[in-house]
Chains A and B, each alone.
Chain A
């Protein structure tokens, strides 16, 4: 099975900062990569699919890039409402493995 890793596991940044989260697949997955946001006590919410396509309704400060094995999620202007755990997920066949998550806090 393909394994997914994320770094860092947690980060703390200031409002307005640019934040980058990295996701790595143990094998190439083309661009079959999604990002989800899970706010505390809430249901996961799809942010990005196909590595870089923003889901409808998601603020444009979120962006994704990458292909093959290395991917990034960037929040360009961190807002207080972005406090959440972010998960990547590969969906190039089964199992559609999730990364371990990156917890983002505000300083």
Chain B
């Protein structure tokens, strides 16, 4: 069964850092583009970041660009989103999702349950 499990969410102070993990099973993360989407409390979905199957193509939303990196450990079949200089507006549930292809033109066919990041003092 194809499954994604996120972890790493926590309560952090403004200015702090976090590394979110997305552990995959049932498929190989290096074969597909992998995505992060977040949802602030009571708000809609915001597309945050992606890493292509080759690992050479990455994307970051303007709201996190310069404060975030996305990476992949093929040996652990896991994708990571490292976020720093966290702000209150980064408070959200962070979902990891998989696309059915390895390039740019992919929708999101499998989602994890999400991990919660709360930025507050």
Contacts and interface: CB of A to CB of B under 8 A. Distances in A.
Contact of B105 (A43, A44, A45, A93): A93
A97 interface: yes
Interface string B24-58: 00000000000101000000111100100000000
Given A43-B95, A44-B95, A92 B45 contact: no
Given A44-B95, A101-B45, A32 B105 contact: yes
B112 A94 contact: no
Q: Is the interface of A mostly helix, strand, loop or mixed?
A: loop
Interface in A39-80: 43-46, 49, 55
B96 to A, nearest CB: 11
Contact of B109 (A46, A87, A94, A95): A46
Contacts, number: 60
Given A32-B105, A93-B105, A100-B44, A43 B114 contact: yes
Interface in A86-102: 87, 89, 91-101
Contacts of B105: 32, 91-93
Interface of B: 35, 37, 44-47, 50, 59, 61, 95, 99, 104-109, 111-114
**Closest 4 pairs between A and B when the two form their complex, measured CB to CB:** A34-B107, A94-B59, A98-B45, A49-B107
Given A34-B108, A95-B61, A96-B108, 19 more contacts: A34-B107, A38-B45, A43-B114, A44-B37, A44-B95, A44-B108, A44-B111, A46-B108, A55-B109, A85-B44, A89-B45, A89-B47, A91-B107, A94-B59, A94-B104, A95-B47, A96-B47, A97-B47, A101-B45
